[in-house]
């Protein structure tokens, strides 16, 4: 199996840089059943574009850092929600967390965190932001923080970020920036 990590133009990124994980080899699928368009989109010159965001270190180890479709672009900055989720999960009061983008007229997208607290714990939005301040870049601090009892899940246990995003859009009347 061959592996490479590429930028949006298909160029291999430097060691340590984030890009899309691509794989090639006998174990990689030949295509999607009865969907030539999806196959052409996913497999380019024999390389399968996985949709996973990853880095490759100097020793050749690959670290998956998120999904391409989950990446948030805030004011021109590429933000990987998984990085913020892993950071917030370090807080002893947080049991579970999901971070995603919501529309913003100024920055294109803003960050939102849905947090499930551990039993009998309490936190405020300001507590979350104070925990982040000075530890992660200012543009990675969620603008919206929502405390919930549970996260919306599919029957197979997959978190439904699109449901959370839609609920935030409706609850806050959020609208995307007008573009030319």
Angle in degrees, CA 112, 142, 83, rounded to 5: 90
Residue span(s) of the chain under CATH 3.30.300.30 come to: 71-172
Alpha-carbon separation of residue 81 from 30, 141, 171 (angstroms): 31, 11, 21
List, by residue range, all CATH 2.30.38.10 domains of the chain: 2-69
Q: How far is C-alpha 111 from the chain's CA centre?
A: 10
Question: Which conformational region is residue 75 in: left (phi greater than 0), alpha (psi within -120 to 50 degrees), or beta?
Answer: left
pLDDT in tens, 54-97: 999 999 999 988 888 889 999 999 999 999 999 999 999 999 99
**This prediction's pTM:** 0.79
Rounded to whole angstroms, the Cα distance separating 152 from 158 reads 8
**Fold that domain 71-172 belongs to in CATH:** GMP Synthetase; Chain A, domain 3 (3.30.300)
Answer for the pair 50, 112: CB distance below 8 angstroms, yes or no: no
What average pLDDT is seen over the chain? 93
Averaged over 129-148, what is the pLDDT? 97
Q: What class is the 2-69 domain?
A: mainly beta
């Amino acid at each position: 199996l061959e592996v490479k990590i590429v930028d949006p133009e298909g160029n291999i990124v430097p060691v340590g840089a984030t890009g899309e994980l691509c794989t090639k080899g006998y174990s990689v699928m030949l295509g999607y059943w009865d969907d030539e368009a999806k196959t052409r989109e996913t497999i380019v010159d024999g390389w399968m574009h996985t949709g996973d965001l990853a880095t490759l270190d100097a020793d050749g180890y690959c670290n998956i850092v998120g999904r391409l479709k989950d990446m948030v672009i805030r004011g021109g900055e590429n933000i990987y929600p998984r990085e913020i989720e892993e950071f917030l999960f370090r807080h002893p009061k947080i049991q579970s967390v999901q971070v995603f983008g919501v529309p913003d007229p100024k920055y294109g997208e803003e960050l939102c965190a849905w947090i499930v607290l551990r039993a009998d714990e309490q936190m405020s939005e300001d507590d979350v932001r104070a925990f982040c301040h000075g530890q992660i870049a200012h543009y990675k601090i969620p603008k919206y923080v929502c405390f919930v009892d549970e996260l919306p899940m599919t029957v197979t246990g997959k978190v439904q970020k699109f449901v959370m995003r839609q609920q935030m859009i409706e609850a806050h009347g959020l609208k995307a920036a007008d573009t030319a």
